[in-house]
Amino acid sequence: MKGHKLVEKYDKYNELSQYWTDGKTVYYCQYEIKNADIDTFEQFAGAWAKDERHCYSGSTRLKDADAKTFEALNFTYAKDKSNVWTLRGRISEADAETFVACDNGRNSLGINMTRLQDGTVKFYESFVPYGFGKDKNKVYYYDFDGKPNIVKKAMTNSFVSMNDGDHFGYDEASVFYGRSCLSGANPKTWKKLSDDYYYSRDRNKIFYFNHLIKDADAETFEVVVTPCPLGTPIQLAKDKNNYYWNANIISKEKFDEEVKDTMDFAKSFNEEYGR
């Protein structure tokens, strides 16, 4: 991953302005990084950085990291000749020589808005580190809740991430949502049903996240896509028998109400903000 030189002004809405300098000191956001070398300092997507002597995750210096061989693999993972890290620390089990990132390592929290001091409205997309990585022995999953998890049933030689916001992956035998296996899902016929939604199916089953929706009719099941100007879209679906909100069956009246409310909000929002 290519690095970027330090900027001279912190901008919390720009991920490549998290590291910056006033010409005398290097900062991560508002935190001073003591003894960092301004001239050789490079920052990478996420919160990775290095100079000629040290490597960093946010404002934290990575212990025993080798700056000459250090590389940021994606938004979530980095490694040097001996170690692999996530933004929450070293993966002690990982084999650095064979470790690779399986996706871009970032999960969008959707479009957000804020009102600036001059009264103008700014829209921005924010991201958090999520994603799969693997080495010759194991598949790992990190979801911003602590240390990375080992995906216990995953076969590293055939594992592939969907790179869909870094939630779903599969190998020759199983399908996974994060570290959890979709019980009974056939990877040969499995597919996601729509981007930004958590519904998926194989030949005769419907899943929400890693949960089987037992009463769903796979042949007629469809995701109901509604506009979403902010955040993540409401999860609605239907089949010939039922209406669904997330994995729950709801009445047609409740379903229609949710669709109408969502459409009305999107319309009024777009009229007010011209989006």
| 167-to-24, 129, 151 alpha-carbon distances in Å | 41, 11, 12
pTM given for the model: 0.91
Domain hosting 213: range is 196-275
Our CA angle for 185, 188, 189, nearest 5°, is 70
Least confident range from 40-44, 118-122, 247-251: namely: 118-122
User: Is there a domain that residue 24 lies in?
Assistant: no
- Taking residues 33-52, report their average pLDDT: 94
User: Is there a domain that residue 201 lies in?
Assistant: yes
Instruction: Determine phi and psi for 273, rounding to 5 degrees.
Output: -110, 0
- Identify the pLDDT of residue 44: 94
SS3 content of the chain, % helix, strand, coil (to 5): 10, 35, 55
User: Is there a domain that residue 74 lies in?
Assistant: no
What total number of domains does the chain contain?
1
Nearest by Cα to 262 from 239, 233, 223, 222: 233
- Residue 235 to residue 150: CA distance in whole angstroms: 28
pLDDT value at 154 more than 70:
yes
User: Is there a domain that residue 141 lies in?
Assistant: no
- Identify the pLDDT of residue 14: 85
User: Is there a domain that residue 241 lies in?
Assistant: yes
User: Is there a domain that residue 108 lies in?
Assistant: no
User: Is there a domain that residue 64 lies in?
Assistant: no
- Identify the pLDDT of residue 166: 67
- Residue 262 to residue 233: CA distance in whole angstroms: 9
User: Is there a domain that residue 38 lies in?
Assistant: no
Percentage of residues of the chain with pLDDT beyond 70: 99
